[in-house]
Amino acid sequence: MLNRTLDVLARNELGAALHSGFAVPDNLIRMTFLAPQGHEFFVDWDRAVQAGVANLRLAAGDDANDPRLHELVDELSEHSAEFRTAWRDQDARGKSHEAKQFRHPDVGLLTLSFQAFDVRSAPGQQLIVYQAEPGSQSAQALALLGSIAATRRAEPDQADAPRRSSG
């Protein structure tokens, strides 16, 4: 679930696992421009840049006085020359449906299609659903990513379990 400024409001476990390579996976456009992993994770980084900036431009059209939008644009402008260049393009559009490629540190290349749904009860929020083509390498990699995430989630529980002596 995202808001207009691409802040991540909620995600399921697999969504969290998808972004697990980021130290702070709280905002998609900040992850794209400011996180060191952004260039590697977003396989078509230029396309991710264009889509993210166009989303922010659309948010500016919805509420040009939004303090969160101004804070984010100022932060990105201060720390990224690429953002400043892209922001000048003035392209405005939202997420809809397309395929994206990601390079995940644990499972490699993933090609996922997504669909964006507006949340009628919460204007400005979107539910983004990613999926891999059934039977594809990406579907297998996504299943593996889910297993890795479940294993990592269970590891602290195992460390707290009492140890049995053998003897």
Which residues have CB under 8 Å from 94's CB, separation 6+?
Answer: 54, 55, 58, 116, 126
What sections of the chain are H helices per DSSP? 13-18, 28-33, 38-41, 45-62, 67-79, 81-87, 137-160
Give the pLDDT score at 58.
87
Question: For position 98, what pLDDT does the model report?
Answer: 83
Contacts of residue 85, defined as CB under 8 A and 6 or more positions apart, other chains included, come to none
Nearest Cα neighbor of 64 from 117, 5, 8 is 5
Mean local confidence (pLDDT), 5-23: 96
**Is position 68 within any domain?**
yes
163 has pLDDT over 70: no
pLDDT band at residue 156 under the 50/70/90 scheme: low
In the three-class reduction of DSSP (H, G, I as helix; E, B as strand; rest coil), residue 121 is classed as: coil
Task: Let me know if residue 8 belongs to a domain.
Answer: no
- What does the pLDDT read at residue 41? 98
Phi-psi region of 90 (alpha: psi -120 to 50; beta: other; left: phi over 0): left
CA 44 to chain centre: 14
Question: So what's the pLDDT on residue 167?
Answer: 47
63 backbone φψ class: left, alpha, beta (φ>0; ψ -120 to 50): beta
Structural domain tally of the chain? 1
pLDDT tier for residue 165 given thresholds of 50, 70 and 90: very low
Residue 165 lies in a domain: no
Domain that holds residue 93: 13-160
Question: Which CATH number covers residue 144?
Answer: 3.30.450.180
Asked if residue 167 belongs to a domain, the reply is no
Residues 20-31, mean pLDDT to the nearest whole number: 96
pLDDT at 9: 97
Is residue 119, in this structure, part of any structural domain at all? yes
Q: Does any domain span residue 71?
A: yes
Average pLDDT over residues 50-70: 89
The residues, any chain, with a CB within 8 Å of residue 27's CB and separated by 6 or more, are 5, 6, 7, 8, 72
In a domain, 84, yes or no: yes
At 59 the pLDDT is 85
Residue 47 lies in a domain: yes
Q: 107: which DSSP letter?
A: T
Report pLDDT digits (tens) over 91-141. Answer: 666 656 689 999 999 999 999 999 999 999 998 899 999 999 999 999 999
Mean pLDDT of the region 157-162: 54
Average pLDDT, the chain: 89
Percent of the chain at pLDDT exceeding 70: 88
Given a cut of 80, whether residue 90 has pLDDT beyond it is: no
Q: What does the longest C-alpha to C-alpha distance in the chain come to? A: 72
3-state SS class at 104 = strand
Task: Say if residues 4 and 29 touch (Cβ distance below 8 Å).
Answer: no
